[in-house]
Amino acid sequence: MYDEWKALADRVAGHAQNFLDGLTRLANGEGGDAFLPLLLVEVSQLSLAGAQLAAAEDVILPGNFEPPIGPDPDIDPLRTALAARLGPVDDYVEVFDPYKDTKVTPYRLSDDLAAVAADLTHGLRHYRAGRPMEALWWLQYSYFNSWGNHAGAALRALQALVAHSRLDVEEEKTPV
C-alpha cells in the first residue's frame, strides 16, 4: 500500500509545484494579455490534484502526528503581486458553502490564490524533507479544510472573468 500512497504523493507534489511555479511567474508579470486565462489554467490543473486527493482513502499518519517543519515562508509578497496584477477584478463574491452557508461572502482572488499557495508550500516542505506520507496527509487534509474551497471559488471567479471577456463584447455595426 505504501507504494500506492508514494505514487499519489509524487503526482500531487508535482501538480503542487507546477501550480506554485506558474502562479509565481504570472504574479511576476508573465502572461501578458493572457494573464486571466493562464490563471484559470493553473487553478484548473491543480483542481485535478485535489480531485485525486478526494477520491483517495483518508490518509492517517502513524500516531496521528504531524512532525514539525518550522515556520512557513511568507506568502504575502506573492499575494501582493497578484493583487496588483488583478487590480479591479480582484474582488468578487461567492457562496462559501452552498449546502450550509448560503449567504454571499466577499472574497479576493489574490487572497484565495495565496491561501492555496501557502497550503501547498507547507505540504511540499514535508515532501522535500523525505516524508511523502506527511505531505500527502497535509495536502489531503488542507484540501478538504482550506485550499480546495479557495481553489474552487477562484476557479469559478476566473471562469466568469474569462467568459465575460469573450462574451460581453459590443456588436459590430456593419456599414449600410
Q: Can you give the pLDDT at residue 174?
A: 66
The CATH fold assigned to 2-167 is: Four Helix Bundle (Hemerythrin (Met), subunit A) (1.20.120)
Q: Can you give the pLDDT at residue 73?
A: 93
Sequence-ordered list of residues with C-beta below 8 angstroms from that of 58, at least 6 positions apart, any chain: 140
Cβ atoms 149, 111 nearer than 8 A = no
- Burial grade of 166 (CB within 10 A; 0-12, 13-18, 19 or more): exposed
Residue 172 scores a pLDDT above 70: no
Report the DSSP beta bridge partners of residue 95: 104
* DSSP of 142-169: HIIIIIHHHHHHHHHHHHHHHHHHHHS-
In this predicted model, what pLDDT tens digit does every residue of 33-77 receive, in sequence order?
999 999 999 999 999 999 999 999 999 887 777 888 889 899 999
pTM, full prediction? 0.90
In this predicted model, what pLDDT tens digit does every residue of 92-112 receive, in sequence order?
998 767 788 788 889 999 999
